Chain A
Amino acid sequence: MYIIVVGGGRVGYYLTKALLDEEHEVLIVEKDVNLCEVITEEMGSICFRGDGCEASTLAEIGTGRADMFIAVTGDDEDNLVACQVAKHKFNVPRTIARIRNPANEAIFKKLGIDVTVSSTNVILEQIEAVVPTHPLTHLLTISDKGLEIVEVKILPDSTIVGKPIKELTLPKESKLALICSKERKPRLPTASTILRAGDRVIAVTTPESEEALRAALRGD
């Protein structure tokens, strides 16, 4: 495959190395003359000095026959424009953009970029996988009544997702007080309220039934 990589920084450098090892034809486009020299010295003449957002540069390096176009500069806006030029001017079948701000994912998708890779999100997910985030958070203790107010997050793999509250087996010392959903106003729970993944449930419970409450909201 002919693959064009825009940005010869660390990500572009190691990505290109990996792609070359897999015997692809790779070309890096990099503005900085010093980076170009380092890459050329180490990997041969696979670096073109130029602006990967400029149509004239992309024409010169044969973007029209590229199978894949990967923009991995450190700036989201540069990666967006490079991919848009590759897509709309040269009809590259697969454009991939690195994004720094995870919030940009939606706009990139909307604007026709085939794949986005958010380094921030990848790192966050990795860390979250290693550090299991407890789905139950203590918000307040009402010590003279022996009660506490907690927040429980409904995880996507919970078996109670999509079910009404009346089907839960809640411990009798626990009461659900409020349901906070991402895209809606907080609601007071009723027997027929349906719980969804990502909902945050505010509940009143005794410390003793805390574990039972958590289990009930997890569905096991």
Chain B
Amino acid sequence: MNVVIMGCGRVGAQLAGLLDADGHSVTVLDTDAYSFRRLPANFGGTALIGNGLDQEVLKRAGIEKADAFFVVTQGDNRNVMAAQIAKHIFNVPKVICRIYDPLRRDLYQALGLEAISPTTVFAQILKEKLES
């Protein structure tokens, strides 16, 4: 599958490595070239400098042919906006974004975005640890 990942932080870089190892064609976007140091040494995909809120940059990253788009930058709003551009302008079949703020996640989930709040997920895990 063709996968575009926006944000090459810890999560983005690790995800890129995993998908690349599984044989997917991966492009990672980040505004800071220094972030690409996190990619595994044997990463076979493409690392591209640019802001994913810019539709021209997304096109260069191959968004028009992407089967999936993951948005995992540090900014909730940036993630929300990029995800909506990918979904509504480029019609990417699978768009998943991270939204730290649980309330904002609920709103955008209701608006049709596939959104994950690590805050909620992690709090839940911790709670389960206590209960087990």
Interface residue ranges, A against B (CB under 8 Å)? 53-56, 75-78, 80-81, 84-85, 88-89, 101, 103-104, 106-107, 110-111
B77, A103: Cβ atoms closer than 8 Å: no
A107, B107: Cβ atoms closer than 8 Å: no
Q: Which residues in window 75-128 of B have CB below 8 A to A?
A: 75-78, 80-81, 84-85, 88-89, 101, 103-104, 107, 110-111
Contacts of A54 in B (CB 8 A): 101, 103-104
Bound CA–CA A101/B76 (angstroms): 19
B104, A80: Cβ atoms closer than 8 Å: no
Other than the given A77-B77, A77-B78, A103-B55, 17 more pairs (CB < 8 A) read A53-B77, A54-B103, A55-B103, A55-B104, A56-B103, A76-B81, A78-B77, A80-B84, A81-B80, A81-B81, A81-B104, A84-B111, A88-B111, A101-B53, A103-B54, A107-B81, A111-B84
A106, B53: Cβ atoms closer than 8 Å: no
Bound CA–CA A85/B78 (angstroms): 15
Bound CA–CA A101/B52 (angstroms): 13
| A contact patch SS | helix
Given that A101-B54, A107-B88 are contacting pairs, would A80 and B80 also be in contact in the complex, using a CB cutoff of 8 Å?
yes
B53-83: contact bitstring with A at CB < 8 Å (1 yes, 0 no)?
1111000000000000000000111101100
A85, B53: Cβ atoms closer than 8 Å: no
Bound CA–CA A85/B110 (angstroms): 12
- Min Cβ gap B62→A in Å is 18
Q: Give 14 A-B contacts (CB < 8 Å), ordered by A residue.
A: A55-B103, A55-B107, A56-B103, A75-B77, A76-B81, A84-B107, A88-B107, A88-B110, A89-B107, A104-B53, A107-B81, A107-B85, A110-B89, A111-B88
Contacts of A85 in B (CB 8 A): 104, 107
- Min Cβ gap B85→A in Å is 5
CB-CB nearest 5 A-B residue pairs: A77-B81, A77-B77, A81-B77, A55-B103, A77-B78
Bound CA–CA A89/B111 (angstroms): 11
B103, A77: Cβ atoms closer than 8 Å: no
- Min Cβ gap A159→B in Å is 35
Contacts of B84 in A (CB 8 A): 80, 107, 111
Bound CA–CA A84/B84 (angstroms): 12
- Min Cβ gap B24→A in Å is 27
Bound CA–CA A4/B53 (angstroms): 26
B33-54: contact bitstring with A at CB < 8 Å (1 yes, 0 no)?
0000000000000000000011
A80, B88: Cβ atoms closer than 8 Å: no
Bound CA–CA A77/B85 (angstroms): 11
